[in-house]
Amino acid sequence: MNPLVTVVIPTCLRQAKLRACLLALAQQKLSPSQFEIIVVDQADDRATANMVKETANLLGLSVRYVSQRRDRNEAAACNRGWRLANSLFIAFTHDDCLPQPLWLTTALPLFHNGAQVIIGRVQYPLPNHPIVASAGANLFCRRALLEQVGGFDEWLNRKQHHEDNWLDRLARAEIPIISCPDAVVVRPFRGSAWFSTLRIMLSKLL
């Protein structure tokens, strides 16, 4: 039986952050049997591959590790990820994000109501800091739509945001983009705040 949704995570030499992301996904309210994870490693790093395998086995998650040539950009990594998916719906996040437990279960019902593209929200763990929209770190879409428009533009340079460019293309084509404020990922800042969040998650799961 195919999973309901595939989570695609591009990564590049950030093992600790990627592991924290996988730990967060293990806390999803959606049953682990209903989603798969595809990690696309832009650094083709053996240590990252080993960490992903060990973490997946520990947590009981369905995770596929895919290596990517180092000369390819993140758009290419995302395209490779969704093209390998076994599901009708794709969720994209970054390796430094922590999807919250209701992340998948709040966004997926919108597809059953006809949504094509959904943007969640990103929370920074600072007091009174607003939740902000962030397409690249929290994006859901139908696989059929990705196939229809040819995925993300791989010709963009590394400083350009391929997700924003893709959303602009959809807007020009008058394809509706839905906001889902309750589908939240936390994106810790570098430094002590990030490591504090990681320690809390490890204490809960290990």
Q: What's the number of domains the chain is made of?
A: 1
Alpha helices in 26-102 (DSSP H): 46-59, 74-83
pLDDT > 70? residue 133? no
Q: What is the mean pLDDT of the chain?
A: 86
Q: What are 116-131's pLDDT values in tens digits? A: 999 999 888 765 555 5
Which CATH number does the domain housing residue 118 bear?
A: 3.90.550.10
Distance CA 59, CA 163 (A): 30
Residue 76 belongs to domain spanning: 5-205
Q: What are 68-118's pLDDT values in tens digits? A: 877 678 889 999 999 999 999 999 999 999 999 999 999 999 999 999 999
Query: Residue 142 phi/psi, 5° resolution?
Result: -75, 140
Q: What are 47-76's pLDDT values in tens digits? A: 999 999 999 999 999 999 999 877 678 889
